[in-house]
Structure 1
């Protein structure tokens, strides 16, 4: 029988980033630790989560269907489009570590000049990986997703126009977690396990 209370509609959400190896909260209602940085506003499209598998099937003589179906690889991706422009998001989008960015301070005299951030891009030597935390929120329910280690595997084109904000659309791919831990963990409130 259908139960409308089990329908999840992601009416709001947040994304957090930290260094790989950071400790995630122990439950979906717990506050994110101080080592996690709020990544800012996300477009109303929300979060797009995908799970792909590569499988190998083994046949046997005289059998008309595979006798073994093995999962060889599972790839989990998480797509978000950020409305804000911050040093952290630019670091992820352009794959430039924060250490390789230069912030030039504002000058008030003699001629005022604004603060600015500068960096080069295009070097494959700089690889930025993060721990990523995601909250999908609806009417008191929470679906928390914790990715121990991930990198940006795809980027949307940045559009600069008078009709839309210059959004940074990125797809994060979960990578093998340090120490053999689970690469992705889910916590979802109000979903009981059958007895």
Structure 2
């Protein structure tokens, strides 16, 4: 018999960024610690998570089917569209380190001038990587995803018009974690293991 309480609908969510090597919270409902920054509003499309594998099979003489099926590579991606324009999102979209951006302060004048940020196009060798934290929330349920090291592998076109905000559509790919740790860690509330269900 099905249980409707096991259905998760991501009605809200948040994304957080930190330097690679940052410490993740030890539970899905604990506050994000020092160094983690809220990345701002996300469009109602929410989070699109994908897991792809490249596999190879080994055959044996006289066998009709493969005898070994090996995973060669596993790629996990996380796609989000952000609404706000911040230095961090500009850095990730244009692939330029924030340390290479210049902020010119406002001038009271006369004439008055607004503060502005400036930067050149990023270099293909100037990789921007972050630790990424994601929260998917439905009622009292939490699904927290921690990506120890990630980079932007795909970017949607930015639309500048009166019809829509100038969004940042970013697809993050999970990269090998520093020190050989878990590249991606999931924590989900109110999901019992089979032994717990029987007990």
Shorter-normalised TM range: over 0.9
Q: Distance in 2 between matches of 1:93 and 1:118?
A: 14
Tell me the distance in 2 between the aligned counterparts of 1:192 and 1:130.
Answer: 31
Q: How many residues align?
A: 195
For 1:18, the equivalent position in structure 2 comes to: 18
CA distance in 2, matches of 1:51, 1:73: 11
**TM-score (normalised: structure 1):** 0.99
Q: 1:22-66 deviations in whole A, cap 9, x for unaligned?
A: 000000010001210000000000000000000010111111111
Q: Which runs of 5+ in 1 are unaligned?
A: none
TM-score when normalising by structure 2 = 0.97
1:31 alignment counterpart: 31
Specify every segment of 5 or more residues in structure 2 that has no aligned partner in the other structure, as ranges: none
Residues 127-183 of structure 1, C-alpha deviation per residue, up to 9 Å, x if partnerless? 110000000000110000000000000000000000000000000000000000000
Which residue of 2 is the match for residue 42 of structure 1? Answer: 42
Residues 52-71 of structure 1 mapped to structure 2, 5 A cutoff: 52-71=52-71
**Cα deviation code 1:106-136 (max 9, x no counterpart):** 0111201110000001422311100000000
Structure 1 outlier segments of 4+, above 4 Å: none
Q: Partner residue of 1:169?
A: 169
Query: In the TM superposition, what are the counterparts of 1:1-195 in structure 2 within 5 Å?
Result: 1-195=1-195
